[in-house]
Structure 1
Amino acid sequence: MDNVKQGGFKRVWLITGASRGIGALIAQAALADGNAVVAAGRNVSAIVERLGESDALLPVALDVTNEAQAKAAVQAAVEKFGRIDVLVNNAGFGLLGAVEESADKDVRRMYDTNVFGLLNITRAVLPTMRARRSGHVINISSVGGYRAGAGFGVYCSTKFAVEGITEALHAELAPLGIHATVVEPGYFRTEFLDASSLVVAPDVIDDYDETSGTVRRKAVQISGNQPGDPTKLAAAMVTLVDASNPPLRLPLGTDTLAAIAAKNEYVTQETETWKALSASTDFAS
């Protein structure tokens, strides 16, 4: 048991939302690469059913919105494997609807998971990483964390928050030998657009039919036909963790690369157009 606790594995990963989708695939890729995995999710039996049983796998019950459960999951990980080298904050879900169509209860529940839940588990893990002056925090964002769009505005706002949190973590943790990366997947062929991962706002306002309404209809058509291969995404996570100098941001998918380029161009052009007014607000020298 001491050998299992202290060594024998390449790294120890803690992955949230690991019972299905991208989280489960990342767990499988990490295990196949010789790592130990603490697979966290609300349904432990679903984790075991998906990932099997192994000395390298520790399934733990975790609702990320519960801070006590986050601390307990970290304690269980350290007790079994002695350390946590990689944290993958993957748990989250989406909300499809115009901003005005998005109900308060749905918005708050999504923030509780996507933002406050991420903070719960990150705060629980960081003391162990700081003690060892080593580790890598990986926060799963989205193309929508870099560029928001009609129909996903409030969801994108949660991922904008994740981006900001990760930028700050990158600055705060780098002097301590700990990496922080925000991963920005585009549309990957997962369950994200299914009811299991996506809340669709029940209120529909006709005035938004050409904007968010169009996105609602496209989401149905895209589901199951997304261009991204989730197995390749999972493999990319292993490559990311193996990098000696990992990036702050890692876009995944050609659709994300195109969206980032388009936004950067738009921001550059708009900034140039309004530069005189922007610069006019300083005190006169």
Structure 2
Amino acid sequence: MSSQPNVWFIAGASSGFGKQIALEALSRGDAVIASSRRTAGLTELSDRGAVLLDLDVTSDDATIRAAFARGESALLGSASKAHHITHFVNAAGYILEGPVEAASQQEVFDSFNVNVMGIMNMTKNEIAWIRKRGQQTGRGAAGRSVIANFGSLGSWRGGPAFAYYAAAKWAVSGFTESVAAEVKELGIDACVIEPGYFRTGFLNPGGGHRITMKNPLDKEYEGTQVEYLRGMLEQVNDQQPGDVVKGCRVIVDVLTRSGDAQGKEVPVRLPLGQDCVDVIEGKMASTQSLIEDWRAIITSTDHE
């Protein structure tokens, strides 16, 4: 088993989970390449030794792979003991808020381009980058490379005013499950991280991660669950039960198979928070109930 130090490439490191994962990894002596569309303000990460790269996750393949190469080259000239990327984290994304009919085609396209296609885009290039490194490089201390994508509590439950976000997160979770099965034999673990509500600033108005539709049809949906959801998000903002520092400590433990995750395999799905567990268990129970209620009809469609 390799003793090579961990080297992280984090897309979406400007705030929230991406930034805190970077800080947690740096605190453990790992090397970090932190990317975002704009990294000019990430002095806290650079001051702690991270390499900063401007990268839009919707970029073309050549641009993305060039960013991987620039990051590894930058580490060669740093105090890092290693420069081959071992852990990729894809944390870029935002919520498009509003009723389904209110969204313009451009708003829907932009949302899926970042939240789904961006993650798929990064992942396919990350797989190729790791694979081409061969069997002796690009592996972390646990002997395997890791790709982690961000899903959500919304990967399990849809609801009013966030249908496009839920659809995106369901897609990311299904995609990552498929990737995990596809690359396991290549020495790569793929994991989708599914947080509940954490105090990351994600819901802060004007923060760039909570985007309200330009024509949200407020009057048309007055008094409905759409209006209620907006009020709920306002109330829960900065009151979320999840502690992002604790969450990222768990994430780094799990992805490096260390600390509380010592001796465990990297799971395909990593839910975080009691609220997320409650949603998943509720979904399991309601799905089982649906199957039992409709079993005779559901199973009547097979050939005799």
TM normalised by structure 2 equals: 0.86
Map 1:158-197 → 2, pairs under 5 A: 158-194=168-204, 195-196=206-207, 197=209
Q: Which amino acid aligns with 2:148?
A: I
Match of 2:274 among 246, 251, 254: 254
The aligned residue for residue 252 of structure 2 is: 238
Alignment CA distance shift 1:181-1:210 (3 Å): same
Q: Which residue identity is paired with 2:17?
A: I
Correspondence list, 1:128-277, <5 A = 128-130=129-131, 131-133=133-135, 134-194=144-204, 195-196=206-207, 197-201=209-213, 202-204=215-217, 206-207=220-221, 209-243=223-257, 244-277=264-297
- Equivalents in 2 of 1:132, 1:77: separation in Å? 19
Q: Which moved more, 1:121-130 or 1:212-221?
A: 121-130
Distance across 1 between alignment mates of 2:268 and 2:181: 10
The counterpart of 1:76, out of the listed 65, 70, 76, is 70
2:47 aligns with one of 50, 53, 58: 53
1:14 partnered with 2:9: yes
Bigger shift: 7-16 or 238-247?
Answer: 7-16
1:65 aligns with one of 48, 58, 78:
58
Unaligned 5+ segments in structure 1 are 1-6
8 Å contact from structure 1 (residues 9, 34) kept in 2: no
Q: Is 2:65–2:129's contact at 8 Å kept on the other side of the alignment?
A: no
Report the AA paired with residue 53 of structure 2: V
1:207 CA displacement: 4.3
How far the C-alpha of 1:50 sits from its partner, in A, is 2.9
**Counterpart in the other structure of 2:261:** none
State the distance in 1 between where 2:116 and 2:254 align.
23
- Once the 2 structures are TM-superposed, how far is the Cα of residue 8 of structure 1 from its aligned partner? 9.7
**Contact 1:90–1:139 at 8 Å: present in 2 too?**
yes
For residues 196-229 of structure 1, give each alpha carbon's deviation from its aligned partner in whole angstroms, at most 9, with x where no partner exists.
Answer: 2111123225347321111011111111111111
Report deviation, 1:129: 1.6
Number of residue pairs matched? 276
Q: Which residue of 1 aligns with 2:36?
A: 41
Q: Give the letter for the 1:154 counterpart.
A: Y
What SS class does the counterpart of residue 100 from structure 1 fall into? Answer: helix
Distance in 2 of aligned mates of 1:71 and 1:160: 26
| Post-superposition offset of 1:57 | 1.8
Mapped pair 1:101 → 2:102: yes
Taking the aligned partners of 1:132 and 1:88, their CA distance within structure 2 comes to 20
Indicate how the Cα distance of structure 1 residues 79 and 52 shifts in structure 2: closer, same or farther if over 3 A, else same.
closer
Give the letter aligned to residue 273 of structure 1: D
For 1:261 and 1:227, the matched residues in 2 are separated by: 18
Distance 1:256 1:280 in 2: 34
Q: TM-score, normalised by structure 1?
A: 0.91
Identity over the aligned pairs, expressed in percent? 34
- Alpha-carbon distance in 1 for matches of 2:116, 2:31: 26
What CA distance in whole angstroms lies between the structure 2 residues aligned with 1:214 and 1:37? Answer: 41
Letter in 2 for 1:199: I
Q: CA–CA distance in 1 between the matches of 2:256 and 2:222?
A: 45
Structure 2 distance, partners of 1:280, 1:52, is: 61
Which sits farther off after the overlay, 34-43 or 123-132? 123-132
- Across the aligned residues of Structure 1 and Structure 2, the Cα RMSD in angstroms comes to 1.8
Secondary structure of 1:274's match? helix
Contact 2:7–2:87, Cα closer than 8 Å, also in 1? yes
Q: Is the 8 A contact 1:84 1:125 kept in 2?
A: no
Give me the whole-angstrom Cα distance separating, in 2, the residues matched to 1:250 and 1:8.
Answer: 25
